[in-house]
């Protein structure tokens, strides 16, 4: 599709957008163009109401009874079943709990437990750091002495061999947005007798993800990015049903027990996906996430995915048109179908430019050493927003206002 990309064209696209009404479900501050939903999704009206209800009515009046009367106890599986619809999983294959890092520890350990005669783990150079750090932790504490092979992206496929126990990859790269071909790599892993764990942190809610059709083994992902679950929202863990019997995981807390309320000294794992739980659910965080999932499930998947493609394509075209010669280099794949719902550009002054953009109300983020990252949400962004953002960026780049000392101060969280 080609657009002339005048303001009129973009307004026309907004009028025809089947998801246009979703913007009003979010509580974005005036004057903010939010392009960081891939790092922390915004607050929705429903999440706000749901949280205050969970605090005042459920915790406030139900007290301990809430575990039964307010549906707290089955939140991990109830939310998991909602989330499964976004990632091509079946009922009973997903739990919502803990953080992505913790779930990755459990998922990779479970995969190793199914493939005990092998001990090689493969991952990617430049994967999201926590994923590599967790693998390092597994190496330190696992008794079959795993070896970890971190390979450049282009060598992953050939590195998967008959000694490989588990392949651990992030579906959409957190900087470049590059998408790994899930079907192809999963198939290669299985041909070699290996298992695969996919990290869907930047995919879920924004990119086509079909775990069961790819025959994936395990997956984990984040609740606070495109799912808009709120800061530190619980994450999720998927385990294919065929592994439920055999898989074992090391963080065998009481919520993963077959009968937690019999308070036995002896551990007996639950039968299904609940085996992957650990301890008590963070009910307040899970409440906000559930409200956000409900919003996402109201948007048709085909509409969501098509809008992400349109938003990223148009943003890229606007940058090419308005900012060429101003020092930006695209650091994401050229082809929209090869990347997820964010785009990165490199610039030698990336940090200061992003600080200047944020001051002007365009919120994206900076990733070391010189990347500016812009995220695209199908639910709360309009096509006209893109033009506003690019015009501000062009002005900052042409006037070099980013050279001002106030934009050089390094924050703790970028
Ligand atoms: C955001 C992200 C995480 C976050 O992990 P936490 O445990 O929530 O801090 C993990 N992996 C990837 C690939 C991510 O993008």
Q: At residue 1, does pLDDT exceed 70?
A: no
Report the chain's C-alpha Rg in angstroms: 22
Verify whether ligand 1 is closer than 6 Å to residue 127 (CB atom): no
> Mean pLDDT over residues 334-341, rounded?
96
For a substitution probing ligand 1, which of 101, 227, 285 has the most ligand atoms within 8 Å of its CB?
101
Q: How many CA atoms lie within 13 A of 392 on its CB side?
A: 20
Establish whether 373 is a catalytic residue. Answer: yes
Establish whether 224 is a catalytic residue. Answer: yes
Q: Render pLDDT for 127-180 as a digit per residue (tens, 0 to 9).
A: 999 999 999 999 999 988 899 999 999 999 999 999 999 999 999 999 999 999
| 360 shares a domain with 331 | yes
- What pLDDT does residue 4 have? 73
Distance between Cα 51 and ligand 1 center (Å): 23
Tell me whether residue 60 is in a domain. yes
Domains of the chain: total: 2
| 217 shares a domain with 366 | no
Distance between Cα 27 and ligand 1 center (Å): 24
Alpha-carbon separation of residue 240 from 28, 117, 143, 209, 247 (angstroms) = 37, 21, 25, 14, 10
Last residue within a domain, chosen from 279, 298, 317? 298
Q: For residue 275, with 0-12 CB atoms within 10 Å meaning exposed, 13-18 middle and 19 or more buried, which class applies?
A: buried
Verify whether ligand 1 is closer than 6 Å to residue 101 (CB atom): yes
Tell me whether residue 85 is in a domain. yes
| 166 shares a domain with 195 | yes
In 92-239, alpha helices (H): 100-114, 129-141, 156-159, 182-191, 211-214
> Mean pLDDT over residues 71-92, rounded?
98
Of residues 218, 224, 374, 376, which has the active-site annotation? 224
Last residue within a domain, chosen from 298, 331, 357? 298
Distance between Cα 101 and ligand 1 center (Å): 6
| 243 shares a domain with 104 | yes
Distance between Cα 308 and ligand 1 center (Å): 21
Contacts (Cβ under 8 Å, ≥6 apart) of 402: 349, 352, 353, 355, 356, 396
Establish whether 376 is a catalytic residue. Answer: no
Of residues 98, 131, 199, 217, which has the active-site annotation? 199
Q: At residue 3, does pLDDT exceed 90?
A: no
> Mean pLDDT over residues 75-104, rounded?
98
Distance between Cα 23 and ligand 1 center (Å): 26
Tell me whether residue 412 is in a domain. no
Our CA angle for 216, 218, 222, nearest 5°, is: 115
| 244 shares a domain with 305 | no
Please confirm whether the linkage preceding 295 is cis (ω < 30° from 0): no
Cα torsion 325, 36, 80, 90 to 10°: value is -20
| 372 shares a domain with 277 | no
Q: Render pLDDT for 34-81 as a digit per residue (tens, 0 to 9).
A: 999 999 999 999 999 999 999 999 999 999 999 999 999 999 999 999
| 292 shares a domain with 341 | no
Q: At residue 217, does pLDDT exceed 80?
A: yes
Phi, psi at residue 330, to the nearest 5°?
A: -65, 130
The span from the CA of 35 to the CA of 44, in Å, is: 16
Cβ contact 211:86 at 8 Å = no
Tell me whether residue 145 is in a domain. yes
| 150 shares a domain with 15 | no
Biggest CA pair distance of the chain? 69
pLDDT band at 88 (very low <50, low <70, confident <90, very high): very high
The span from the CA of 292 to the CA of 135, in Å, is: 30
Contacts (Cβ under 8 Å, ≥6 apart) of 13: 3, 310, 314, 383
Of residues 22, 128, 236, 315, which has the active-site annotation? 128
User: How are beta strands 147-151 and 164-170 bridged, if at all?
Assistant: unpaired
Q: At residue 8, does pLDDT exceed 70?
A: yes
The parent domain of residue 381 ranges over: 7-30+301-407
Of residues 131, 174, 373, 385, which has the active-site annotation? 373
| 402 shares a domain with 256 | no
Residue 225's CATH number: 3.40.640.10
Tell me whether residue 37 is in a domain. no
**Closest Cα to atom 15, ligand 1: which residue?**
201
| 333 shares a domain with 384 | yes
Verify whether ligand 1 is closer than 6 Å to residue 81 (CB atom): no
Verify whether ligand 1 is closer than 6 Å to residue 342 (CB atom): no
Verify whether ligand 1 is closer than 6 Å to residue 222 (CB atom): yes
Verify whether ligand 1 is closer than 6 Å to residue 228 (CB atom): no
Mean pLDDT, the chain, rounded, equals 97
* 5 Rama sector, left if φ>0, alpha if ψ -120 to 50, beta otherwise: left
Report the candidate in 296, 308, 401 with the shortest Cα–Cα distance to residue 353. Answer: 401
- What single DSSP character describes residue 339? B
- What single DSSP character describes residue 378? T
283-298 and 45-53 helices cross at what angle (nearest 10)? 150
| 85 shares a domain with 58 | yes
- What single DSSP character describes residue 17? -
Residue 349's CATH number: 3.90.1150.10
Cβ contact 141:175 at 8 Å = no
Q: At residue 277, does pLDDT exceed 70?
A: yes
Contacts (Cβ under 8 Å, ≥6 apart) of 325: none
Q: Render pLDDT for 297-315 as a digit per residue (tens, 0 to 9).
A: 999 999 999 999 999 999 9
């Amino acid at each position: 599709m080609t657009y002339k990309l005048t303001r009129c064209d973009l307004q026309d696209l907004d009028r025809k957008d089947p998801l246009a009404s979703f913007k009003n479900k979010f509580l974005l501050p005036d004057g903010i163009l939010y392009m960081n939903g891939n790092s922390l999704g915004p607050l929705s009206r429903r999440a706000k109401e749901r949280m205050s209800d969970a605090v005042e009515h459920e915790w406030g009046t139900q007290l301990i009874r809430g575990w039964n009367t307010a549906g707290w106890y089955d939140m991990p599986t109830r939310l998991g079943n909602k989330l499964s619809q976004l990632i091509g999983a079946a009922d009973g294959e997903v739990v919502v709990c803990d953080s992505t890092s913790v779930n990755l520890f459990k998922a990779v350990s479970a995969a190793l437990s199914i493939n005990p005669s092998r001990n090689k783990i493969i991952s990617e150079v430049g994967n999201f750091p926590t994923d590599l750090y967790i693998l390092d932790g597994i190496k330190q504490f696992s008794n079959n002495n795993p070896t970890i092979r971190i390979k450049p992206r282009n060598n992953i496929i050939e590195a998967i061999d008959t000694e490989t126990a588990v392949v651990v990859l992030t579906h959409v790269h957190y900087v470049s947005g590059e998408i790994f071909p899930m079907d192809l790599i999963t198939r290669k892993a299985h041909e070699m007798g290996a298992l695969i764990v996919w990290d869907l942190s930047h995919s879920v809610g924004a990119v086509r993800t079909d775990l069961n059709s790819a025959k994936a083994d395990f997956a984990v992902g984040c609740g606070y990015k495109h799912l808009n679950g709120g800061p530190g929202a619980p994450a999720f863990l998927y385990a294919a049903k065929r592994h439920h019997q055999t898989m074992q995981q090391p963080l065998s807390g009481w919520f993963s027990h077959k009968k937690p309320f019999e308070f036995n000294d002896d551990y007996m794992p639950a039968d299904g996906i609940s085996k992957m739980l650990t301890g008590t659910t963070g009910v307040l965080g899970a409440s906000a996430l559930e409200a956000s999932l409900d919003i996402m499930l109201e948007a048709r998947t085909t509409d969501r995915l098509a809008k992400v493609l349109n938003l990223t394509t148009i943003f890229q075209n606007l940058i090419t048109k308005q900012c060429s010669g101003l020092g930006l280099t695209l650091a994401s794949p050229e082809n929209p179908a090869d990347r997820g719902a964010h785009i990165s550009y490199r610039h030698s002054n990336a940090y200061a430019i992003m600080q200047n953009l944020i001051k002007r109300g365009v919120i994206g983020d900076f990733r070391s050493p010189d990347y500016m990252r812009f995220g695209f949400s199908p639910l709360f962004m309009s096509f006209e927003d893109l033009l506003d953002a690019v015009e501000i960026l062009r002005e900052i780049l042409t006037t070099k206002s980013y050279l001002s000392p106030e934009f050089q101060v390094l924050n703790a969280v970028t």
